[in-house]
Amino acid sequence: MSTSTRHLILNRCFDAIQANGFETLRTDKEIARLKITKGAFYHYFPNKLELGYAVVDEVMLPFYTAKWAPLIDIENGIPAAIHSILETEKTKATETTIKRGDVLSNLILEQSHSDELFRQKLEIVNEVQIKILQRAIMIGRAAGELKNQTDARSMALYIIGQVMGCYTIGKVRASKETFVSMVGTLQKQLNEILILHPTAPLFASNASQMPSSSNHEPSPQDSITAKPTEKKASKGKWFSKGR
């Protein structure tokens, strides 16, 4: 038995988890599909839970690190790099991947409440992404590309959370179009609240993704940039001082 067999098992099970979740994973079926013996499988993974831990550590962590890899060790061009990563999320999306959803989000909902070690490992995957973004935002501030008042960690958490949310809503609606539209909205919001000197060509593609003002429905994120308004009650109305 070789490490290549182990990697084959991990990647095959990762695909199965992406498609149907961890709880429905049937190791016996995956063993049959891989045409390996049960002895070979259990040599590496004594039980299903240990397999799940290994999938998170050895497949998911590199998978999500690679997603944000363009920001690692970057020293300038932060806005363009973030925009490009989000564009990649839109262009690589398919109806199948959106219906499956984000595997990290799925596992967080599925496993965090039932196994503490599983939760901790998923948290590490989440935290690695946040730290990559956090560092990039701090570099962007120092380079004069991003707004100084931006709290780097809070913004990193916001971006990661929004991307996960886009996958979740896209999944529940079974709609790639919804996912692409939501990511486009996120790009526009980052342009407004994060970028110090946004350039039109870089973010011009967002316009085609945004719904027109006539049918645009407000989202929770709109409150970030919206100015609060107050309605003054007229005298004699229900909210007047005389009531």
What confidence tens digit (pLDDT) does each residue in 17-67 have?
Answer: 999 999 999 999 999 999 998 998 999 999 999 999 999 999 999 999 999
First to last CA, the chain: 83
Number of continuous H segments (helices) and E segments (strands) in the chain: 13, 0
Biggest distance spanned by C-alpha atoms of the chain: 85
Nearest to 224 by CA among 179, 158, 126: 158
Domains of the chain (ranges; CATH) run 1-51 (1.10.10), 68-208 (1.10.357.10)
Going along the chain, which residue ranges are E strands? none
What confidence tens digit (pLDDT) does each residue in 76-130 have?
Answer: 999 999 999 999 999 999 999 999 999 999 999 999 999 999 999 999 999 999 9
